[in-house]
Amino acid sequence: MSNSLITIVGPTAIGKTSVGVKLAQHYHTEIISADSRQFFKEMEIGTAVPNKDELAAAKHHFIQHISIEDNYSVGDFETEALNLLDQIFQNNNKALMVGGSGLYVKAVLEGLDKFPEIDASIREQLNLDLQKKGLEPLQQLLVKLDPVYAKKVDLDNPHRVIRALEVCIGSNQPYSSFLHNSSSTNRNFQAIKIGLTAPRELIYQRIEQRVDIMVKNGLLAEAKSLYSKREMNALNTVGYKELFQYFAGNWSLDFAISEIKKNTRRFAKRQLTWFRKDEATKWFEYNSSIEEMIDYIDSKTLPEIK
């Protein structure tokens, strides 16, 4: 096996896209995006998709390839990404995967835990409960139904809480009982994992700068165009849900923007917590030279089989 999937991870706004493009150019290969927020055609500014120059500099996949109205799961992404990697490896023994969505990265590298099929009406009801009663009753229910998972999960993340509850309710078993049950998954590549980091104060500063740039570049108009579809799951995300509160007259614009910054900082903290659990990840400062990363990758790369 001589194929290598070089994976670039780290918190939002750390510079993963730029590093990925430079490495893709060096290795003359293509990039799989593992940023699930950037999948959606309608969400360009608020998800900081690569700009035109970056997209032209290296071939990207899974950027704005679906609609917020499409049904698209992490399992769909795993299947499509693995099929694409098979194609890339026909011509190049290296490929890049870049992104901060930990579950999507894990799906490609390791496979997913196996969960039972759940009636969609359960999630619909939980989402209605979230809208009407808020997150706290759902948090309390998860603590009751699955105290083991409740201690691990970010209880402030409604997506995670609802996902766990729908499995608990639909299967009548704790969500945690299905974790780490995936059978060993064979991959036709070795994973070389690189993480980008920086002092927390600098990460937060970069986040605030990015949000200000998004607002300057038209985030309000983009969010406004999606306001009528605000109940869709894809839009229950940082950068949009705060502005929906402004459009509804509940918050001032300044407060909404401050909440975007605060929630993005929290998101970055969760990303770092997730990725730092993997001891196989080699961490580099965000401003490390590309040459330093290339030396590390080449030291890990298996020789090509002739």
Per the annotation, where are the binding residues? 10-17
In angstroms, rounded to a whole number, what is the distance separating the alpha carbons of residues 2 and 211? Answer: 41
Encode 99-118 in three state secondary structure: CCCHHHHHHHHHCCCCCCCC
Quote the radius of gyration of the chain (alpha carbons, Å): 20
165 closest CA partner among 132, 142, 147: 142
**Dist CA 231 CA 25 (whole Å):** 40
Which residues face 80 on adjacent strands?
none
Q: Is 278 exposed, middle or buried (0-12, 13-18, 19+ CB in 10 A)?
A: middle
* Binding-site residue positions for substrate: 12-17
Give binding residues for ATP as ranges: 10-17
